[in-house]
Protein backbone atom coordinates (compact mmCIF):
# COMPACT_ATOMS: atom_id res chain seq x y z
CA UNK A 1 0.00 0.00 0.00
CA UNK A 2 1.41 3.39 -1.01
CA UNK A 3 1.98 5.97 1.69
CA UNK A 4 0.33 9.33 1.42
CA UNK A 5 2.69 11.97 0.05
CA UNK A 6 4.16 14.36 2.57
CA UNK A 7 2.11 17.58 2.58
CA UNK A 8 3.71 20.68 1.13
CA UNK A 9 5.36 22.93 3.66
CA UNK A 10 3.85 26.28 4.52
CA UNK A 11 5.75 29.52 3.95
CA UNK A 12 6.76 29.61 7.63
CA UNK A 13 7.90 26.00 7.53
CA UNK A 14 9.98 26.67 4.43
CA UNK A 15 11.55 29.67 6.15
CA UNK A 16 12.34 27.59 9.24
CA UNK A 17 13.84 24.80 7.14
CA UNK A 18 16.06 27.35 5.42
CA UNK A 19 17.19 28.75 8.78
CA UNK A 20 18.05 25.25 9.98
CA UNK A 21 19.98 24.55 6.78
CA UNK A 22 22.05 27.74 7.08
CA UNK A 23 22.65 27.20 10.79
CA UNK A 24 23.74 23.61 10.17
CA UNK A 25 26.09 24.76 7.43
CA UNK A 26 27.68 27.23 9.86
CA UNK A 27 28.06 24.67 12.65
CA UNK A 28 29.21 21.72 10.54
CA UNK A 29 31.73 23.79 8.55
CA UNK A 30 33.22 25.09 11.82
CA UNK A 31 33.05 22.09 14.16
CA UNK A 32 32.73 19.17 11.75
CA UNK A 33 30.19 16.38 12.07
CA UNK A 34 31.61 14.92 15.26
CA UNK A 35 31.97 18.25 17.02
CA UNK A 36 28.53 19.56 16.07
CA UNK A 37 25.43 18.95 18.18
CA UNK A 38 21.70 19.30 17.58
CA UNK A 39 21.64 21.85 20.40
CA UNK A 40 24.25 24.02 18.63
CA UNK A 41 22.35 23.93 15.35
CA UNK A 42 19.04 24.73 17.06
CA UNK A 43 20.61 27.65 18.93
CA UNK A 44 22.20 28.99 15.73
CA UNK A 45 18.81 28.71 13.98
CA UNK A 46 17.10 30.55 16.82
CA UNK A 47 14.73 27.74 17.74
CA UNK A 48 14.30 25.01 20.32
CA UNK A 49 15.67 21.50 19.89
CA UNK A 50 12.15 19.94 19.77
CA UNK A 51 11.16 22.42 17.08
CA UNK A 52 14.23 21.56 15.01
CA UNK A 53 13.51 17.84 15.37
CA UNK A 54 10.11 18.44 13.80
CA UNK A 55 11.97 19.11 10.53
CA UNK A 56 14.85 16.64 10.86
CA UNK A 57 14.91 13.45 12.89
CA UNK A 58 18.64 13.45 13.64
CA UNK A 59 21.97 15.19 13.26
CA UNK A 60 22.83 12.65 10.58
CA UNK A 61 19.81 13.60 8.48
CA UNK A 62 20.66 17.31 8.64
CA UNK A 63 24.29 16.61 7.78
CA UNK A 64 23.37 14.46 4.80
CA UNK A 65 20.95 17.11 3.52
CA UNK A 66 23.57 19.84 3.73
CA UNK A 67 26.27 17.65 2.16
CA UNK A 68 24.04 16.56 -0.73
CA UNK A 69 23.24 20.18 -1.54
CA UNK A 70 26.92 21.10 -1.29
CA UNK A 71 28.04 18.34 -3.65
CA UNK A 72 25.36 19.31 -6.18
CA UNK A 73 26.57 22.90 -6.00
CA UNK A 74 30.20 21.82 -6.33
CA UNK A 75 29.44 19.97 -9.55
CA UNK A 76 27.81 22.96 -11.26
CA UNK A 77 31.00 24.37 -12.87
CA UNK A 78 31.87 20.94 -14.24
CA UNK A 79 28.50 20.63 -15.98
CA UNK A 80 29.19 23.90 -17.82
CA UNK A 81 32.34 22.45 -19.39
CA UNK A 82 31.60 22.73 -23.15
CA UNK A 83 33.16 20.02 -25.38
CA UNK A 84 32.66 22.25 -28.43
CA UNK A 85 34.42 25.26 -26.94
CA UNK A 86 38.04 26.33 -27.20
CA UNK A 87 40.05 24.16 -24.77
CA UNK A 88 41.95 26.98 -23.06
CA UNK A 89 38.84 29.16 -22.86
CA UNK A 90 36.88 26.31 -21.27
CA UNK A 91 39.62 25.57 -18.74
CA UNK A 92 39.98 29.29 -17.98
CA UNK A 93 36.24 29.60 -17.38
CA UNK A 94 36.25 26.51 -15.19
CA UNK A 95 39.11 27.89 -13.06
CA UNK A 96 37.30 31.19 -12.63
CA UNK A 97 34.02 29.50 -11.71
CA UNK A 98 35.82 27.42 -9.09
CA UNK A 99 37.48 30.53 -7.67
CA UNK A 100 34.12 32.30 -7.61
CA UNK A 101 32.72 29.41 -5.62
CA UNK A 102 35.64 29.59 -3.19
CA UNK A 103 34.82 33.27 -2.70
CA UNK A 104 31.03 32.92 -2.45
CA UNK A 105 30.75 29.55 -0.67
CA UNK A 106 33.64 29.18 1.78
CA UNK A 107 31.50 27.32 4.34
CA UNK A 108 30.48 24.73 1.77
CA UNK A 109 34.10 24.27 0.73
CA UNK A 110 35.25 23.66 4.31
CA UNK A 111 32.33 21.30 4.94
CA UNK A 112 33.20 19.27 1.85
CA UNK A 113 36.90 19.22 2.77
CA UNK A 114 36.11 17.97 6.27
CA UNK A 115 33.97 15.17 4.86
CA UNK A 116 36.79 14.14 2.51
CA UNK A 117 39.32 14.17 5.36
CA UNK A 118 37.06 11.75 7.24
CA UNK A 119 37.09 9.38 4.26
CA UNK A 120 33.70 10.44 2.88
CA UNK A 121 31.71 8.18 5.25
CA UNK A 122 28.39 9.90 4.50
CA UNK A 123 28.50 10.66 0.78
CA UNK A 124 30.80 7.97 -0.52
CA UNK A 125 27.94 6.56 -2.59
CA UNK A 126 27.21 9.95 -4.14
CA UNK A 127 30.88 10.43 -4.98
CA UNK A 128 30.64 7.42 -7.27
CA UNK A 129 28.09 9.30 -9.38
CA UNK A 130 30.14 12.50 -9.42
CA UNK A 131 33.20 10.49 -10.47
CA UNK A 132 31.34 9.47 -13.62
CA UNK A 133 30.73 13.13 -14.49
CA UNK A 134 34.42 13.92 -13.94
CA UNK A 135 35.48 10.99 -16.12
CA UNK A 136 33.21 12.22 -18.91
CA UNK A 137 34.99 15.58 -18.88
CA UNK A 138 38.33 13.80 -18.78
CA UNK A 139 37.40 12.16 -22.07
CA UNK A 140 36.69 15.61 -23.51
CA UNK A 141 40.16 16.79 -22.51
CA UNK A 142 41.71 13.61 -23.91
CA UNK A 143 39.94 14.37 -27.20
CA UNK A 144 41.43 17.87 -27.26
CA UNK A 145 44.87 16.39 -26.60
CA UNK A 146 44.43 13.86 -29.41
CA UNK A 147 43.54 16.74 -31.74
CA UNK A 148 46.73 18.59 -30.78
CA UNK A 149 44.80 21.38 -29.10
CA UNK A 150 46.42 20.79 -25.70
CA UNK A 151 49.74 19.44 -24.49
CA UNK A 152 49.55 15.85 -23.22
CA UNK A 153 48.48 15.78 -19.57
CA UNK A 154 46.55 13.35 -17.39
CA UNK A 155 43.11 15.05 -17.19
CA UNK A 156 42.38 13.56 -13.78
CA UNK A 157 45.45 15.15 -12.25
CA UNK A 158 44.67 18.39 -14.04
CA UNK A 159 41.31 18.49 -12.26
CA UNK A 160 42.94 17.58 -8.94
CA UNK A 161 45.40 20.46 -9.36
CA UNK A 162 42.64 22.94 -10.23
CA UNK A 163 40.56 21.85 -7.25
CA UNK A 164 43.54 22.09 -4.92
CA UNK A 165 44.57 25.58 -6.02
CA UNK A 166 41.10 27.13 -6.22
CA UNK A 167 39.57 25.66 -3.06
CA UNK A 168 42.70 26.60 -1.12
CA UNK A 169 41.38 30.18 -1.10
CA UNK A 170 38.34 29.05 0.90
CA UNK A 171 39.78 26.33 3.10
CA UNK A 172 42.91 28.27 4.11
CA UNK A 173 41.48 31.79 4.15
CA UNK A 174 43.01 32.55 7.55
CA UNK A 175 46.52 31.87 6.24
CA UNK A 176 45.90 33.73 2.99
CA UNK A 177 44.55 36.78 4.85
CA UNK A 178 47.70 36.94 6.96
CA UNK A 179 50.01 36.68 3.94
CA UNK A 180 48.08 38.93 1.56
CA UNK A 181 46.49 41.19 4.13
CA UNK A 182 42.87 41.04 5.18
CA UNK A 183 42.03 44.13 3.09
CA UNK A 184 43.31 42.69 -0.19
CA UNK A 185 40.16 43.05 -2.32
CA UNK A 186 41.77 41.82 -5.55
CA UNK A 187 42.95 38.46 -4.23
CA UNK A 188 40.63 36.42 -6.45
CA UNK A 189 41.42 38.44 -9.56
CA UNK A 190 45.16 38.06 -9.09
CA UNK A 191 44.67 34.42 -8.08
CA UNK A 192 42.89 33.71 -11.37
CA UNK A 193 45.67 35.37 -13.37
CA UNK A 194 48.40 33.52 -11.49
CA UNK A 195 46.72 30.10 -11.64
CA UNK A 196 46.00 30.49 -15.35
CA UNK A 197 49.61 31.42 -16.03
CA UNK A 198 50.81 28.32 -14.19
CA UNK A 199 48.44 25.93 -15.93
CA UNK A 200 48.43 27.39 -19.41
CA UNK A 201 52.22 27.36 -19.60
CA UNK A 202 52.02 23.58 -19.60
CA UNK A 203 48.80 23.22 -21.56
CA UNK A 204 49.25 25.43 -24.63
CA UNK A 205 50.09 23.39 -27.71
CA UNK A 206 53.60 23.98 -29.05
| 67 domain-assigned | no
Q: Let me know if residue 26 belongs to a domain.
A: yes
96 and 38 share one domain: no
Look at residues 17, 15, 39 and name the one whose alpha carbon lies nearest to residue 27. 39
Give how many domains the chain has, as a whole number. 2
pLDDT of residue 6: 55
pLDDT digit string, tens, across residues 39-78:
999 999 999 999 999 999 999 999 999 999 998 898 899 9
With a cut of 70, list the residues of the chain below it in pLDDT: 1-7
Same domain, 185 and 155: yes
Span 101-111, pLDDT tens digits:
999 999 999 99
**Residue 112 and residue 28 in one domain:** no
**Domain extent for 49:** 11-59
In a domain, 1, yes or no: no
Give the residue ranges of DSSP H helices in 76-186.
Answer: 76-79, 87-104, 106-117, 124-146, 155-171, 173-180
CATH code (residue 38): 1.10.10.60
Distance between CA 82 and CA 94 in Å, rounded? Answer: 10
* Residue 50 burial (C-beta neighbours within 10 Å; 0-12, 13-18, 19+): exposed
Does a structural domain hold residue 16?
yes
Half-sphere exposure of 202 (CA within 13 A, CB side): 10
Rounded Cα gap, residues 57 and 122, in angstroms:
16
Same domain, 142 and 99: yes
Q: What is the reported pLDDT for 122?
A: 86
Answer yes or no: do 82 and 113 share one domain.
yes
Are 123 and 84 contained in the same domain? yes
Whether residue 93 is found in the same domain as residue 34: no
- Confidence at residue 1, expressed as pLDDT on a 0 to 100 scale: 43
3-state secondary structure of 3: coil
24: closest CA among 55, 94, 5? 55
Together in a domain, 126 and 166 = yes
| Per-residue pLDDT, 2 | 45
Structural domain contains residue 179: yes
Whether residue 28 sits in one domain with residue 86: no
Q: Are residues 131 and 107 in the same domain?
A: yes
CB-side neighbour CA atoms (13 Å) of 161: 14
Count, in order, helices (H) and strands (E) of the chain: 11, 0
Give the global pTM: 0.86
Q: How far apart are CA 193 and CA 137, in angstroms?
A: 23
pLDDT recorded at residue 87? 95
Q: Are residues 162 and 79 both part of a single domain?
A: yes
Residue 143 covered by a domain: yes
Amino acid sequence: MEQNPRPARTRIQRANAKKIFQAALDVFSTDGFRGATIEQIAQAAGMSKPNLLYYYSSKEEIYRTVLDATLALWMTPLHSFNPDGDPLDEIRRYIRLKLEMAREYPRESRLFANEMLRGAPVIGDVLEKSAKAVNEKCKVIEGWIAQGRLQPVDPRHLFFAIWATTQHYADFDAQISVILGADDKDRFKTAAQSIESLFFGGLKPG
